[in-house]
Amino acid sequence: MFGDGMGSLNLEIMSHFEPVCTGLVSTVSTSLVFVLDDSASVSADSWRGMYITISGETRIILKYSSTRQVTIDSSFSFNSISAGSAYLVSRKL
């Protein structure tokens, strides 16, 4: 499921990352802040510094709250993130 709905992920790049979780974006507040669905861990700060990939674009997670709200380091491209978008959270090996 890791590549499902997220565009083509470069296997060479992904070989340097370990998948942690996949799911769907629940709601989008801004291009930098959004909420993940119930499949995400609710442990606050557990994903800080990890990477989130949506529609083939990867960003660093700056903040992660117990309400599953994510704040990232830079915006995704226009229209690449919306409610229902698939995500992959990973950590660097």
Q: Are 34 and 25 in contact (CB under 8 A)?
A: yes
What is the rounded CA–CA span in Å between residue 36 and residue 72?
A: 13
What is the model's pLDDT at position 13? 52
Domains of the chain: 11-92 (2.40.30)
B/e letters for 68-78, b = 16+ CB within 10 Å, e = fewer, are bbbbbeeebee
Q: Are 50 and 20 in contact (CB under 8 A)?
A: yes
Q: What is the pLDDT of residue 93?
A: 84
pLDDT for position 7: 47
Question: How confident is the chain (93 residues) per 10-residue block, as mean pLDDT?
Answer: 48 71 93 91 80 94 93 88 93 88
